[in-house]
């Protein structure tokens, strides 16, 4: 999972000079603060990223790791 999600499409908030919001859920970037869970629950960006993260987690959890040395010998 990424620490910050800042690659979502944004649009300028017309009433403010330097304010932006998510194009999909219309929540201000200062409220989102780079966190996926701060997007609206029905935000298409949040849903897509959540699915992508879940798929990646499943793919890595199915791999068997043999990083630790196994000691089969008895002294």
Give the pLDDT of residue 1: 63
Q: In this structure, is residue 43 part of a structural domain?
A: yes
pTM over 0.75: no
Specify if 47 maps to a domain.
Answer: yes
Q: 41 lies in a domain?
A: yes
Asked whether 32 and 39 are in contact (CB, 8 A), the reply is yes
Question: What is the model's pLDDT at position 51?
Answer: 93
25 in a structural domain: yes
Question: Could you tell me the residue range of the domain that residue 28 belongs to?
Answer: 10-57
73 in a structural domain: no
Asked if residue 34 belongs to a domain, the reply is yes
CA separation for the pair 11, 75 (Å, rounded): 68
Contact at 8 Å (CB) between 9 and 23?
yes
Asked if residues 30 and 23 have their Cβ atoms less than 8 Å apart, the reply is: no
pLDDT tens for 10-57 read 999 999 999 999 999 999 999 999 999 999 999 999 999 999 988 888
Half-sphere exposure of 9 (CA within 13 A, CB side): 7
Model confidence at 4, in pLDDT bands (50, 70, 90)?
Answer: very high
Residue 32 domain-assigned (yes or no): yes
Q: pLDDT at position 58, please? A: 82
Q: pLDDT at residue 63 above 70? A: no
Residue 35 lies in a domain: yes
Domain count, the chain: 1
- Rounded CA-CA distance 66/52 in Å is 26
Choose among 26, 31, 33: nearest CA to 5.
33
């Amino acid at each position: 999972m990424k620490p910050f999600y800042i690659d979502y499409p944004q649009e300028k908030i017309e009433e403010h000079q330097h304010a932006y919001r998510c194009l999909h859920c219309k929540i201000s970037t200062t409220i989102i603060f780079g966190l996926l869970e701060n997007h609206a629950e029905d935000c298409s960006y949040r849903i897509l990223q959540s699915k992508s993260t879940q798929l990646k987690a499943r793919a890595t959890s199915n791999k068997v790791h043999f990083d630790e040395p196994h000691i089969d010998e008895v002294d």
